Amino acid sequence: MEKNGIKVLIVEDNAMNMMLLRDILSIQGYEIIEALTGAEGIRLVAEQSPDIVLMDLHLPGMDGITATRILKADERFRGIPVLAITASASSTDIEEILCRGFDGCVTKPIDMEILLGEVRRFTAGASKDSH
């Protein structure tokens, strides 16, 4: 599929989850950037300017909540949507996640249609191509 000009940063330390997210999104034409830790994710946001970040909550070293708080505290990155990727699926858990600065949440196991719907919703109009 042709690239759609939208960069997605996936911050995920589990190889199987990373592969699944990468495969689902790359088939749809998204450019994928990968990070294994929260600190690496922050660095790549600064270097690559992704259109959206998919952030696992449980990461080695700095967790996804802390990494998101750091990103959202920086005015340069505040406008980049950050979606939590989590196995915590209760409505109370999701409400807590949104209160911590995340723009949205996708629960594990990953539902392809929900994932794509959320990525599209938060990147509408972000395409750099002029088709």
CB atoms inside a 10 Å sphere around CB 104:
17
- Length of the chain (residues): 131
Residue 64: inside a domain: yes
Residue 112: inside a domain: yes
Residue 128: inside a domain: no
pTM score over 0.85: yes
Residue 72: inside a domain: yes
Task: Pick the closest to residue 21 from 121, 106, 120, 123 (CA basis).
Answer: 106
pLDDT band per the 50, 70, 90 thresholds, residue 95: confident
Residue 30: inside a domain: yes
How many domains does the chain contain in total?
A: 1
Ramachandran class of 93: left when φ > 0, alpha when ψ lies in -120 to 50, beta otherwise: alpha
Identify the CATH number of the domain in which residue 64 sits: 3.40.50.2300
Residue 38: inside a domain: yes
Residue 2: inside a domain: no
pLDDT band per the 50, 70, 90 thresholds, residue 87: confident
- Domain of residue 99 covers 7-123
